[in-house]
Amino acid sequence: MQLPIDAILARIKATAPRDPFLAVRQRTDAHRRTHGCGAYTYDKAPSLLALAEALAAARILELGTALGYTSLSLAAGSPRALVHTIEGNREHVLLARQEIQRADCDPRIRVYEGDFLAVLPGLSPSYDLVFFDGFAPDSAVYRHIDRLLAPRGVLVSGNLTLAGGEGYHTQIHDPRQWHTRALDISGETAISMRAT
């Protein structure tokens, strides 16, 4: 029996990749090289665009904005979606807001400034899609993600090959809670849909 997550993954893989925000990615990479910060771009943003499109997501949550590259990709995939994104670095928040305004997406993308655990409690359910790209979230952040995600919502976990986060890996691969599939051969990104 094919699970809904398998159909979504097949649709993403069948979609021709497009990257309308390549210039934002390039500006982000240049910023990181100049400032020596951790503003890395997610290299599978075209897959996120295809995923948001496949889900017809109405509400999207991103943990870690950097300069807005993936926020813009998610918004482009689902043109009626509202995207909420959280960033702790003040300079990155300001730069992301500039990129979002430049792309005429500022009415649909809201950048929250602060630590995840400071912002997440103030957000209300339900998000159709939650994305993070970084070190695996700790258990407190995971509980908020779990609370905020819609019943058939999708969680995209990037950078799973980074050290740490074993508890998180165990949680998203528990078939009683999640149907999880790798987006790529390396297993760096997982797509998870609630099992119930």
Closest Cα partner for 24 from 139, 93, 102, 115? 102
* Residue 30 confidence (pLDDT): 96
Please provide the DSSP assignment of 88-145 as one string.
--HHHHHHHHHHHHHTT-TTTEEEEES-HHHHGGG--S-EEEEEEESSPP-HHHHHHH
Range of the domain at 29: 4-194
* Residue 154 confidence (pLDDT): 95
CATH number of residue 159's parent domain: 3.40.50.150
Average pLDDT of each block of 10 consecutive residues along the chain (196 residues)? Answer: 78 88 96 92 90 94 96 96 97 98 96 97 96 85 94 90 76 90 85 87
* Residue 2 confidence (pLDDT): 55
Full-prediction pTM beyond 0.75?
A: yes
Number of domains in the chain: 1
